Structure 1
Amino acid sequence: MSTVTNKSLKEELVELDKKHFIHPSTNMKQLEEEGPAFVFTEGEGIYLKTVEGKKLMDTLSSLWNVNIGHGREDIGEVAKEQITKLAFTSTFSGWSHEPVIRLGKEIAKWAPEGMNATFFTSGGSESNDTAFKTVRHYWKVKGQPQKNKIVSRSLSYHGVAMGATSATGIKPFRDFTTSLAPDFLHVESSVEALKELIEKEGADTIAAFISEPIQGSGGVNMPPEGYFQEVRKICDENDILFIADEVICGFGRTGKNFGMEHFGVTPDIITMAKGVTSGYAALGGMILSDKIHNELKEKTNGNFYHGYTYSGHPVAAVVAMKNLEIIKNENLIDNVNKMGEKMLEGFNWIKEQNDDVVTEVRGIGLLGAIKIEAKDGESIGAKVVAEALDRGAICRSIVYEGQDTLAFAPPFIINEEQMDDMINIINESIKAVK
């Protein structure tokens, strides 16, 4: 039997990929010409390995989500056990199963006090669309159906389902389609701008305000000082529900269970995904305050007509339970805070070394960014990314709406030596291309 070399295997997979796989968020023409940049075959810890055997440090936890790192056999073991026991059953029409019940109880322990019930989805986009439908249903059953507008912030990212795309404050995502959902509004990230919008539109027409605690895909942007405390007051004064999109920030990414804890604010609804399973299974959810949950139970006549086939998937649920157990038992949030401080120190050192092009660094927990000034009018972020890949690290360049930002979110398990490697690679990469 002949063996297939890695080179010939890659050539085969590249051609099959180009013919049969439509990639998300990818330049279709470039992909047709060049094929996929990488074909990954393995992951271990903070590293990924390509089909040719190249090892790369995953400094963004893939899509901000592989928080406990790659290749955890203990996750695989619980998934295998559940698959052989009960791979799937519906949760429609009042059916249930033990994994989802146990997971709901566990998430309540992580959530702020007074938030005890979760509706499960397959990911962040579904979670946010669920929240938008739920808040509109909530006001409808309370006799205020005109309260249907959703307000989000400029440069926010909330996903790519129809409602989630419409809420997203990054223009290219909205420009992609000609069929945005109605009644979604975007506002600059200031208290004054929000007040002006509410006055203009009328509080009696606004169902909810949604925001990430720290904007992720929009550039790892921190909120203005005191912003969320004021937003919470404004929402309360105007009978507007506050949705926290914790898809990236939730379950320890910022050094706390949820990102809004940094600001002393409790939302009415939390949407989550990514870190709940660390990417080992597709799972998301909407966590409701007890107040909203109780009112919905009291006032909804008939079915809650919303649900996905995989709402509360049993295998995803046991994976989430094991993932959250690992984060707790291995004290990974403590490591997030420790390594987060080291990462920010490293970013500041990079800024000192490259003060001609690095204009700002920012970070909270293991979520950070380096802002780069265009050199001679040319963005160099993409060149830094390419150089870093050659040196063994994956990072991401964010260039939406004029910014040039490198984003980082390494796995929670990263150690000091690995963090030093990451900082040195990024520093050398910037120096090489500037």
Structure 2
Amino acid sequence: MNTVAKGPEFVVSRAEGVWLWDQYGDRYLDGTASLWYCNVGHGRTEIADAVHRQISTLDAYTVYGDFANAPAIELSERLAAHAPVDDPRVILTCGGGESIDTAAKLARGYWAALGQPERQHLISRTGGYHGLNGFGTSIIGMDRFREGYGRLVEETSVVPYDSAEALEAEILRVGAHRVAAFFAEPVIGAGGVFLPPEGYFAEISRICRKYGVLFIVDSVICGFARMGNWFGIERFGVSPDMIVFAKGVSSGYLPLGGVVVDGRVADPFWNQEGNPFLHGTTYAGHPTACAAAMANMDILEREDLFTVSREVERHLDSALRGLESHPLVAEVRSGVGVMGAVELTEEALTERGITTAEVFAETRARGVIVRPVPKALLVSPPLVVTWEQIDHLTSTLAGALDAVMERH
């Protein structure tokens, strides 16, 4: 807030495809699909038309209790049909943070319904980002997002993102009889684009089954073709107990998220009396948001952006690898999904005093938007990006790195 107060705001006035225009009419390549979500690109009239049709018929109405609406039912059935989860049920929310809180409460509630209320402990991973609501802030794998807020949700812990052995050791330390769930992103996104080691998910899935711990996949960033499939986790051949989704489900055209729940986890609430899940949000199952999501999913299927994204993934990986030889670059992380990270060297960050915010500002001044995190610049363009646009993105970032290096 202090930074924004000191200078002019960057006002996005319109967008089309992979391009943005500011209040002065200057054009920028959207190298981050806004906040990781605009998978099908900006300005899709099909989605706008679907929104108009729905909002003209039924704008919104609650789905509490036995209330429902046709778009929410249709979307839930469509999501369930694609989910790598046994006998899936769907809970709709308004976004990723709400979905994480929903999944965490459901996990604890599930064990309480089974007569094991002591199973409340939640385990997550270093670098993991799970939104900034109550539970999300409490299990996030980056300390800076928790500092200054006092006591948050307790009975949580974090393990190294790349070690299945560390997860098992933590379950044993806490006591399996006290652990409710383990949260993991298929690829860590906002925490810096960290890819899982070979065989990691198969092993953590085995560990969770061994100790009865619910395995919750956070696919908010990785879903809806960003990793070449519907929910990202399919890439690793495992079936979780819950999948949290948002962002790409509607490509951000309207706020929407949710949780896909394994039938076994849903059973105590669906099929046994006395276990109401007393949780929900005002706009969950919003019919107009659901209509936007279905139009978005139509585009994903019609244009086969699942196959396209695998091709984009390879070209983006190749283009980003060209930055590995730059003197300011320590590492490039990419190659699984349409996302990547260019991490700066410790020498650049400490001895030279270069910040990723400075590189970000220089890149934006040259007409490309990337996302700065403390040590790296992240990219995650819309899936409709062309090879030429990818090359423009990476060459512009290289030029920005050169310009910053010259100043230091």
Do Structure 1 and Structure 2 share a fold, with TM-score over 0.5? yes
Q: 2:210 aligns with which of 229, 237, 256?
A: 237
The whole-number CA distance in structure 1 between the counterparts of 2:40 and 2:180 is 36
The whole-number CA distance in structure 2 between the counterparts of 1:35 and 1:394 is 17
Alpha carbons of structure 1 residues 433 and 377: separation in structure 2 relative to 1, 3 Å: closer
Residue equivalent to 1:47: 19
Correspondence list, 1:138-287, <5 A:
138-189=110-161, 190-287=163-260
Q: 1:419 aligns with which of 390, 395, 398?
A: 390
The whole-number CA distance in structure 2 between the counterparts of 1:132 and 1:357 is 40
The whole-number CA distance in structure 2 between the counterparts of 1:357 and 1:30 is 25
Contact 1:272 1:285 in 2 (8 A): yes
Contact 2:222 2:337 in 1 (8 A): no
Q: 1:96 aligns with which of 59, 68, 76?
A: 68
The whole-number CA distance in structure 2 between the counterparts of 1:219 and 1:115 is 33
Aligned-pair CA distance for 1:433: 1.7
Residue equivalent to 1:389: 364
Q: 1:359 aligns with which of 323, 330, 352?
A: 330
The whole-number CA distance in structure 1 between the counterparts of 2:263 and 2:212 is 17
Deviations for 1:129-173, whole angstroms, at most 9, x for unmatched residues? 000110111000101000011100111110111111001111111
Alpha carbons of structure 1 residues 115 and 58: separation in structure 2 relative to 1, 3 Å: farther
The whole-number CA distance in structure 2 between the counterparts of 1:427 and 1:331 is 31
Q: Which has the higher contact order (CA 8 A, sep 6+)?
A: 2
Q: 1:64 aligns with which of 36, 56, 73?
A: 36
Partner amino acid, structure 1, of 2:240 = P
The whole-number CA distance in structure 1 between the counterparts of 2:248 and 2:43 is 15
Contact 2:338 2:380 in 1 (8 A): yes
SS at match of 1:155: coil
Partner amino acid, structure 2, of 1:121 = T
TM-score of the superposition, structure 1-length normalised? 0.90
Aligned-pair CA distance for 1:379: 3.3
The whole-number CA distance in structure 2 between the counterparts of 1:115 and 1:249 is 22
Contact 1:152 1:168 in 2 (8 A): yes
Runs of 4+ off more than 4 Å = none
Contact 1:373 1:379 in 2 (8 A): no
Aligned-pair CA distance for 1:302: 5.4
The whole-number CA distance in structure 1 between the counterparts of 2:35 and 2:179 is 32
The whole-number CA distance in structure 1 between the counterparts of 2:157 and 2:368 is 38
Aligned-pair CA distance for 1:259: 1.8
SS at match of 1:351: coil
Q: 1:324 aligns with which of 287, 293, 297?
A: 297
Partner amino acid, structure 1, of 2:268 = E
Partner amino acid, structure 2, of 1:419 = I
The whole-number CA distance in structure 1 between the counterparts of 2:352 and 2:398 is 21
Deviations for 1:346-404, whole angstroms, at most 9, x for unmatched residues? 1111223x1x22222122221111122142342342222111111100001111xxxx1
Aligned-pair CA distance for 1:181: 1.0
The whole-number CA distance in structure 1 between the counterparts of 2:170 and 2:283 is 37
Aligned-pair CA distance for 1:48: 0.9
Partner amino acid, structure 1, of 2:54 = Q
The whole-number CA distance in structure 1 between the counterparts of 2:370 and 2:144 is 21
Correspondence list, 1:276-315, <5 A:
276-301=249-274, 303-315=276-288
Deviations for 1:202-223, whole angstroms, at most 9, x for unmatched residues? 0000000001111111101112
TM-score of the superposition, structure 2-length normalised? 0.95
SS at match of 2:385: coil
The whole-number CA distance in structure 2 between the counterparts of 1:260 and 1:186 is 20
SS at match of 2:323: helix
The whole-number CA distance in structure 2 between the counterparts of 1:413 and 1:288 is 30
Q: 2:109 aligns with which of 110, 127, 137?
A: 137
Aligned-pair CA distance for 1:91: 0.7
Partner amino acid, structure 1, of 2:116 = Q
Contact 2:113 2:268 in 1 (8 A): no
SS at match of 1:93: coil
Correspondence list, 1:368-387, <5 A:
368-374=340-346, 375=348, 376-387=351-362
Compute the RMSD of aligned alpha carbons.
1.3
Aligned-pair CA distance for 1:176: 3.6
Partner amino acid, structure 2, of 1:331 = D
Q: 1:431 aligns with which of 381, 396, 402?
A: 402
Partner amino acid, structure 2, of 1:383 = E
Alpha carbons of structure 1 residues 229 and 396: separation in structure 2 relative to 1, 3 Å: same
Contact 2:85 2:261 in 1 (8 A): no
Residue equivalent to 2:100: 128
The whole-number CA distance in structure 2 between the counterparts of 1:303 and 1:137 is 9
1:109 aligns with 2:109: no
SS at match of 1:383: helix
Contact 1:187 1:197 in 2 (8 A): yes
Contact 1:142 1:299 in 2 (8 A): no
Report how many aligned residue pairs link the two structures.
400
Alignment gaps of 5+ in structure 1: 1-27
Partner amino acid, structure 2, of 1:147 = R
Deviations for 1:81-124, whole angstroms, at most 9, x for unmatched residues? 11110001111120111101110111112211525211000000
